[in-house]
Amino acid sequence: MTLRLDDSSITVAIVGCGGFIGSHLLDAVLERTRWRVFGVDLDFYRLQHRLNHERCEFLCADLADPAVVERIAQFPLVVNLAAICTPSRYMGEACEVIRSNYDHPAALAEACARSGAWLVHFSTSEIYGRTAPDSGELIEDETPVVFGPVAASRWSYATAKLLAERFIAGLPGLKWTVVRPFNFVGPYMDFMPGVDGEGIPRVLANFSTALLRGEPLKLVNGGKAKRCFTSVHDAVDFLFALFNAAGQDAGPGTASTAGVFSQAFNVGNPDNELTVAELAAKMRQIYAEIRGVDVATLPEPQNVPGEVYYGAGYDDSMRRMPSVEKAERLLGFRASTPIDVCLRESLAWFVNHYSV
């Protein structure tokens, strides 16, 4: 496969182009390559500055439509970011969650297998299941999976994502790479409830919203769960490491395919691990600095039981520490943005964006 960044005949299809990661990827593709972009999403409000770009075409649609799936698969490179990936929806909307995270990607994978497109599919670090507080590094091809109680609907998302991964890996003739994100953060993440979305966004947007509204940050089950927060800019750099490596790679069935194709990669920053309570403390401090106020004037965080906050069937992973050895070994990639830089950028963006 020849995939040179300066090849203006290449079009990349970005499914979920209007979302958090998609909007950053779109900017990077336009800035770092000469490729064209075919962007698919249900809304494009994050992309106002790109809507008339001469190298972009946008389609307002989703993967439920087989004609849209066929059209996307005609491009040589397809990045699939489309998903319902907000934990607060995993309990009450399990069927929609499963459709968006299994049925739609499976249909897209089949179309790509027929057309020969390279599918870069975004999975999740949640496929590692209900990790314990002392669980070690999660290793792509080794770590055993244990989910929580079979009836806990929290796991509807993870089981659908895991099944999609198994389907993709098992599909004859498909050229694929799977990405497992570890809590990406940055500008444009999620939404502010009541302004550009409803319900409970993920923790970064939720804490940012509470700070802006002068409300207490809610620590679910005491905020003991740990996450490795990863800059979305590092995530985009990972994708370019992948694209560059694919440019060197001769394709499936050749000696060099071990580097890129038929591989799942963790994308996370092991240096940025915090408990949720520590995240709350850091965000309060950074917010106080941005606003020029004493942190003691901000409301204290409050504990809240998970099932009260999210609803029946909520469960949690207590630690998500990625092994990043594989990406370093095969792609020479390691995430490098420190946690304070990630949080300061994200919070400053949130304050600026939603205060206006």
Residues lying near ligand UDP in the complex (CB under 6 A) are found at: 87, 126, 183, 202-203, 206, 218-220, 223, 225, 227, 276, 306, 316
Q: At what angle do helices 156-170 and 104-115 cross, to 10 degrees?
A: 10
**Partners of residue 38 on adjacent β-strands:** 13, 57
Given 102, 128, 157, 314, which residue is catalytic? 157
Nearer to ligand UDP, 29 or 152 (CB): 152
Q: Using CA atoms, how far apart are residues 252 and 347, in angstroms rounded to an integer? A: 42
Rounded to the nearest whole angstrom, what is the least distance from the CB of residue 176 to ligand UDP in the complex? 23
Find out whether 263 and 177 touch, Cβ atoms under 8 Å: yes
Question: End-to-end distance of the chain based on CA atoms, in angstroms?
Answer: 46
Query: 2: which 2 tokens?
Result: 């020849």
Of 88 and 263, nearer to ligand UDP (C-beta) is 88
Nearest to ligand UDP of 27, 316 (CB atom): 316
What is the smallest separation between the CB atom of 240 and ligand UDP, expressed in angstroms? Answer: 25
- Give CA torsion, residues 91, 94, 96, 101, to 10 deg: 100
- The CA distances from residue 301 to 3, 15, 185, in Å, are 49, 37, 21
Measured distance CA(211)–CA(192) in Å, rounded: 11
Q: Is 45 a catalytic residue?
A: no
Quick one: the chain helix, strand, coil %, rounded to 5? 45, 15, 40
Beta carbon of residue 179, minimum distance to ligand UDP (angstroms, whole number)? 15
List the one residue out of 42, 82, 40 whose CA is nearest residue 58.
Answer: 40
Helix (H) / strand (E) element for 95: namely helix 94-98
Residue with tokens 């390279």: 118
**Cα separation of 64 and 75, whole Å?**
18
The least CB distance from residue 342 to ligand UDP, in Å, is: 14
Nearer to ligand UDP, 186 or 306 (CB): 306
What is the length of the chain?
Answer: 356
Determine contact, residues 237/331, Cβ cutoff 8 Å: no
Beta carbon of residue 314, minimum distance to ligand UDP (angstroms, whole number): 8
Contact (CB, 8 A) for 176 and 109: yes
Nearer to ligand UDP among residue 39 and residue 129 (C-beta): 129
Least distance to ligand UDP from the beta carbon of 150, Å?
19
Q: Closest approach of Cβ 321 to ligand UDP, in Å?
A: 13
The Cα 43–Cα 34 span in angstroms is 25
Is 60 or 145 the residue whose CB approaches ligand UDP more closely?
A: 145
Do 67 and 107 form a contact (C-beta atoms < 8 A)?
no
Measured from the CB atom, the residue of 29 and 94 that comes closer to ligand UDP is 94
Q: Which residues have a catalytic role annotated?
A: 157
